[in-house]
Structure 1
C-alpha cells in the first residue's frame, strides 16, 4: 500500500506547479510589455504632435518628461498593487486562523462534552455499586462535574434526588438484643450475618453525604435574600446553584438541614424525615409540597419564604414545629395535618388563604400576631392544648366552625376584618376574646363555652350572633361595643356581666326593632341622655319568668 500512495503524493505538487508556471510566464510578458511601453511606446505616443514643430532637444526633453511620469505612475500602481495584495494576504491569513480556531474550539468542546458525558455515565453507574466508598466517590464526582458545568446542574440534582428516593429503612440502633443473642452461646455469627447492618450504616453515610452536598449548593450567599439569589447568573466559581428544583417525593431523609436554602420548586410529598428537619430561612420561589410527609423529630421553618403555594395537607409532625415569621405569598394548606408537639406560627404571614381544616394540634398551638390576608380556615380543627391567636389579624373570613378547644383559647386583641365563624365550636376551658375586633359578621351560634368566656372590650362592628350558645362558666362582655344586630338567645349557667357594654346606632331602623337585637334575660339598653342614638346595656330586675 505504501508503493501505491507514493505516486499520489508526488503527483499533486506537479498538478499545482503547472498553473503557477503559466501565471509566471504571463506575468513576465506583461512586465516586458509595460517596460517597453514606459521606455519607448509611451514617450513616443504622448510626444508626437503633427501640428507642432519641436527641435530635437525639445522633443528629447518631452520624451524624458513623459518617460519619467510613466515610470512614477507605474511605480505608484505597483506600490498600490503590492499593498492590496498584502492586505488580501493578511485578511486571508486572518480568516484561515479564525477558521482554524473555530475548528479547534469545536473539537475541544466536543471532546470536553464527551469527557463530561463519560464522567457522568460512569458516576451514575457507580451509584449502584455495592461498596459504599464507591458510591461516595460517585456523589463527589457528579457534584464536581455540575460545579464546572452549570447546564448540567439540574440533571445532577435530579440524580441525587432519585438516589434519595430509593427505598431505605434507617437502622434501629436502640433495638433491644434478642434472647438468642443474649445467651452465653459462644458460637460466632456467620460471616454474612453482620453485613446488612454494616451496609445500612454505610448507606446512611452515603445518603447524608448526598443531603449535605445538596444543602451546600442550595445555600444562598450571605448578605442577600433567597429571592435575589435566584436572579444571579450561574458560574463555575459560585458555590450557590440558582434555578434548581428538587423532587424528593417519598424520600427517606435523615437529619435533613436545608437552612437558608433557595430553590424554585420543591416536592417532599410523602417524604419521611427521621430526626430533626431544618428549613429555617429557606426560600421556595415556586410551589412547595409537603403533603403527606412525616416528621419524626422537630421541624423548623422559622423565617422561611414560600412564594408559591405551600402544601402540608395530611402531614404528621411528631415533634415540635416552628413556622415563626414564615411568609406565605400563596396559599398555606395544612388540612388534616397532625401536630403532636408544639405548633408555633407566631408572626407568620399568609397572603393567600390558610387552610387548617380538620387539623389536629395535640400540643400548644401559637398563632400570636399572625397575619392572614385571605381566609383562615380552622373549621373542625382540634386543639387539645392551649391555642393562642393573640393579636392575630384575619383580613378575610375566619372559619372555626365545629372546632374543638380542649385547652384555653386565647383570641385577645385579634382583628377579624371579614366574617368570623365560630358556630358549633366547643371551648372546654377558658376562652378569651378580650379587646378583639369583629368588623364583619361574628357568628357564635350554638357554640359551647364550658369554662369562662371573656369578650370584655370586644368591638362588634357587624352583626353578632350567639343564638343557641351555651355558657357554663362566666360570660363577661364588660365594655364591649355592639354596632350592628345582636342575638343572645343563650343558655347562661354561670355569671353574666355586661357592665359598661355600649350599644350604638339605636336610631337606625335597620338594626333595631323586631327581633334584630335580642339581649340576654335581665339586660336592657339604656339610651344616653345626651345622645339617644347611643346607649349602655344595664341590668334590670329579674322577673319570676326569668327565674
Structure 2
C-alpha cells in the first residue's frame, strides 16, 4: 500500500522534478513510464499473491471439510460398531439367560439324564461367564441341600399265603422302581459334587496358599473367590481333597461314606457345626484361616485332623468321636474348644501345639488319650471334670500357662513323666484309679493336689517343685514314691490320708521330713489307716 502511494505521489510530482531542465517533458514521460511499469509489476505481484492466498485458503477449507467428513464417518462407524456390539451383547445375554433359565428348569425334571445335562450346561455357562460362577455354585449347592433319603425296604419275614403273593409282587415292583430312582438321583448328586470338586481344587503346580490369587479366566478351570453353602446337605462319598474356597458352610450336613477334605484350604470361616459323618472324615493337612466350627458334630468313623492348621478358633464343643480321633501334629493358633466332647475311641494329640487356650472341660475320653511327645500348651489348658477311662498320656508335654485338671477322673494310667508345668498346675479332687506317674515332672508354679485320690501306683520320683506343692486332704491307697524330689521343702502333705499302712507289699517313700502316723480312730474297713505328719515318730 505504501509503495502504491509513493508511486502516485511520484507520478504527480514528476513534472516538477524536470521543470528547470532541458527535455523536461521527455524526462517526465520517461519517469511516468517507469512508474507505470513498476505499478504494473506491483499489481501483477499483488494479483498473484491474492491468487495464491485464495488457492491456499480453498485447499485448507477443502482439507478441513475432508477431515470433518472423515471424522463424521469415523464417529458413524464407531456408533455402528457400538450398536452392533451392544446388539451382539444383548443377544448373548439373552441367550445366556435363556440357557441358564432352561438349565434351572431342567434340574427339576423327573428324568435323571435331563438333570445331568442341566448340570453340565450350567457348568459350561459358568466356565465361559465369570460373573455366573458363584450363582452356578449356589444352584449346585441348593440341589445338594434338597432332601435325599433311601427308601425303606419292606421285605416279608415269613412265607405269604397264596392270596397275598400278587400284592407282594406289586410291592416288590414298587420297591425296585424306588431303588432305581434312588440310584439315578445318587448319580446326579455325585455329579454335582464332582463338578464342584473339579473347579474348586487347587490347580496343579500352584501352591495352595496362592490359589485364590489366580486371575479368573475361561481358560483356567479353577474358580477363585467361591464360597460354599451346603447347610443341611446330603452328601455321599464327598471328595474335596485340595479344596480352595473363601468361606464354607456344612452346618448340619450329612456325610454318608467317606468325606475327604485332606489338604483343603479355607480362607474364611468354615462351619461344620452339627454335621454328621457316617464314615471316615479326613481333614489331614487342612488349613483353616478363619474360625473352624465343628461344635456338636458327630464322627462315626475315623476323624483325621493330623497336621491340620487352625489359624482362628477351633470349635469342637460337644462333638462326638466314635472312632479314632487323630490330631497328631495339629496346630491351634486360636482357642481350641473341646468342652463336653466325647471320644469313644483313642484320641491322639501327639505333638499338637495349642497357642491359644485349650478347653477340654468335661470332655470324656473312653479310649486312650495321647498328648505325648512334646504336645505344647502355650496358654491355659482346662481339663476340669474331664473323664479318662483309658490311659491318659502327657509324657513330655509342656504346659506354659495354667494347667487345670480339677475334678478330673483317671480310670486308667495317667502318665505325666517329664511334663513341664510353667504356670499353676491344679489337680484338686482329681481321681487316679490306675498308675499316676509324675516322674521327673517339673512344676515351676504352684501345684495343687488338694483332696486328690491316688488308688493305684503313684510316682513323683525325681519331680521338681519350685513353687508351693500342696497335697492337703489327698488319699494314697497304693504305692507312693516321692524319692529324689527336688525342693521337697515346698511339698505340703498336711492331712494326707494313707491307707493300708501295714501292707508290706506296698512301696512308699515320702519326702524328707514326713512320716505316717497311724490313726487312733481307724474304722473297721481299714484299721491300718494313717495320716502324714511333718517330723515326729511314725512309719
Give the alignment's TM-score, normalised by structure 1. 0.83
* 1:168/1:208 CA distance change after superposition, 3 Å: same
For the pair shown, which has the larger CA radius of gyration, 1 or 2? 2
TM-superposed deviation, 1:372: 1.0
| 2:221 aligned to which of 239, 247, 255 | 239
| Structure-1 separation of matches of 2:328 and 2:151 | 36
* 1:182/1:351 CA distance change after superposition, 3 Å: farther
**Alignment-derived partner of residue 256 in structure 1:** 238
**Alignment-derived partner of residue 146 in structure 1:** 126
| Structure-1 separation of matches of 2:259 and 2:198 | 16
| Structure-1 separation of matches of 2:179 and 2:410 | 51
Kindly indicate whether residue 439 of structure 2 is the aligned counterpart of residue 449 of structure 1.
no
**Alignment-derived partner of residue 434 in structure 1:** 417
* 1:155/1:46 CA distance change after superposition, 3 Å: farther
Other structure's SS at 1:281 match:
coil
**Alignment-derived partner of residue 482 in structure 2:** 498
* 1:182/1:83 CA distance change after superposition, 3 Å: farther
| 1:85 aligned to which of 65, 68, 75 | 65
TM-superposed deviation, 1:541: 5.4
**Alignment-derived partner of residue 347 in structure 1:** 329
8 Å contact kept, 1:127–1:138: yes
* 1:488/1:192 CA distance change after superposition, 3 Å: closer
| Structure-1 separation of matches of 2:174 and 2:341 | 47
Gaps of 5+ in 2: 12-33, 499-509, 520-530, 532-538
| Structure-2 separation of matches of 1:81 and 1:214 | 66
Structure 1 residues 452-485: Cα deviation after superposition (integer angstroms, max 9, x where no partner): 1111111111110001111111111112111111
| Structure-1 separation of matches of 2:159 and 2:216 | 55
| Structure-2 separation of matches of 1:155 and 1:341 | 37
8 Å contact kept, 1:482–1:502: yes
| Structure-2 separation of matches of 1:311 and 1:201 | 32
8 Å contact kept, 1:522–1:541: no
Structure 1 residues 148-181: Cα deviation after superposition (integer angstroms, max 9, x where no partner): 1111111111111111111111367xx7953479
Kindly indicate whether residue 285 of structure 2 is the aligned counterpart of residue 300 of structure 1.
no
| Equivalent runs, 1:154-173 vs 2, <5 Å | 154-170=134-150
* 1:520/1:302 CA distance change after superposition, 3 Å: farther
Aligned length: 482
8 Å contact kept, 1:282–1:303: yes
TM-superposed deviation, 1:395: 1.6
Kindly indicate whether residue 413 of structure 2 is the aligned counterpart of residue 425 of structure 1.
no
Kindly indicate whether residue 470 of structure 2 is the aligned counterpart of residue 487 of structure 1.
yes
* 1:48/1:179 CA distance change after superposition, 3 Å: farther
| Structure-2 separation of matches of 1:343 and 1:183 | 51
| 1:98 aligned to which of 78, 81, 84 | 78
**Alignment-derived partner of residue 94 in structure 2:** 114
Higher mean Cα deviation, 232-241 or 332-341? 232-241
8 Å contact kept, 1:170–1:204: no
**Alignment-derived partner of residue 178 in structure 1:** 156
Gaps of 5+ in 1: 1-42, 507-511, 524-535
8 Å contact kept, 1:333–1:355: yes
| Structure-1 separation of matches of 2:42 and 2:91 | 72
TM-superposed deviation, 1:503: 1.4
Structure 1 residues 102-136: Cα deviation after superposition (integer angstroms, max 9, x where no partner): 22222211111111111111100000000000000
| Equivalent runs, 1:312-461 vs 2, <5 Å | 312-390=294-372, 391-461=374-444
Question: What value does the CA root-mean-square deviation take over the aligned residues?
Answer: 2.6
| Structure-2 separation of matches of 1:542 and 1:305 | 55
**Alignment-derived partner of residue 277 in structure 1:** 259
Give the alignment's TM-score, normalised by structure 2. 0.84
* 1:124/1:359 CA distance change after superposition, 3 Å: same
| Structure-1 separation of matches of 2:45 and 2:494 | 132
Other structure's SS at 1:76 match:
helix
TM-superposed deviation, 1:83: 2.5
Higher mean Cα deviation, 193-202 or 263-272? 193-202
8 Å contact kept, 1:364–1:387: yes
